[in-house]
Amino acid sequence: MNNAARIKLKFTLIELLIVVSIIVILIAILLPSLQKAKQTTKSIVCRNNLKQIHLSSLSYTSDNNEWVLLMKWPVWYTRLYDYGLKYPVSFMCPSETTAFGNYNDGFFKYTHYALNPFLCGATDEPLYKPHKISAVTSPSTAIFTGDSAMIAGTAIRYTSHLSYRHSGGIPVKMTGSSDTVYLVNKDKGTANIVYMDGHVEAKTFNSLGGLVTNAPMKNGFNE
């Protein structure tokens, strides 16, 4: 190989390394944006699920003498099969990494969403009184349902029962509880919540007061 050929090969290798370096830099720049876009898409699907659950529940209410959808028994979501929702797809949050199955094995027993028992009431728990929709005085602040962290339950009784799994929420395994799959880092992550007027909000733990409390679940209706 003559000197000219060696010089040409040398420049070709340098150019290749430059191109590779540029590609690596572009990937490093674009990857966070792609991951964020993926998280946003999952959150949008979740929000749509919650809106459809709310709309179906209004049809249920209209057909059942204006009673807000009962929390249980039978399990609340089964009452919505007649209103266009399908199990499990209508009740799956794409941001939730834990699937449905036996809760003793760490899976969700019912759905990735749960009802507000203070509003919806329960047929087998006197503490939670059923309400007619006329009891709702402020639909924009009355929580109906949202992302659930309860693998064995169907209710979000406290702010800690919501799952803050969107927007980069980090699962933190709990100790001393067989009912809750995890709390999510309080400084990061949001839970999607649908209110009685049908709008959905992404709430952080801190935006709900930063405390383990049931106060937000009691807003917007006459107890």
Q: What is the pLDDT of residues 108-121, one digit of tens each?
A: 888 999 999 999 99
Q: Which two tokens stand for residue 66?
A: 């204006």
Find the mean pLDDT for residues 200-206: 92
Q: How confident is the model at residue 5 (pLDDT cuts 50, 70, 90)?
A: low
- For all residues of the chain together, what is the average pLDDT? 83
Query: Around Cβ 144, how many Cβ atoms within 10 Å?
Result: 25
Cβ-Cβ contacts under 8 Å for 63 (sequence gap 6 or more): none
- Burial of 83: CB neighbours in 10 Å, binned 0-12, 13-18, 19+: middle
First-to-last C-alpha distance (Å) of the chain: 90
Q: Is the pLDDT higher at 202 or at 73?
A: 202
pLDDT above 80 (res 24): no
Cβ-Cβ contacts under 8 Å for 46 (sequence gap 6 or more): 93, 94, 95, 147, 166, 192
pLDDT above 70 (res 16): yes
pTM of the model: 0.80
Find the mean pLDDT for residues 169-193: 60
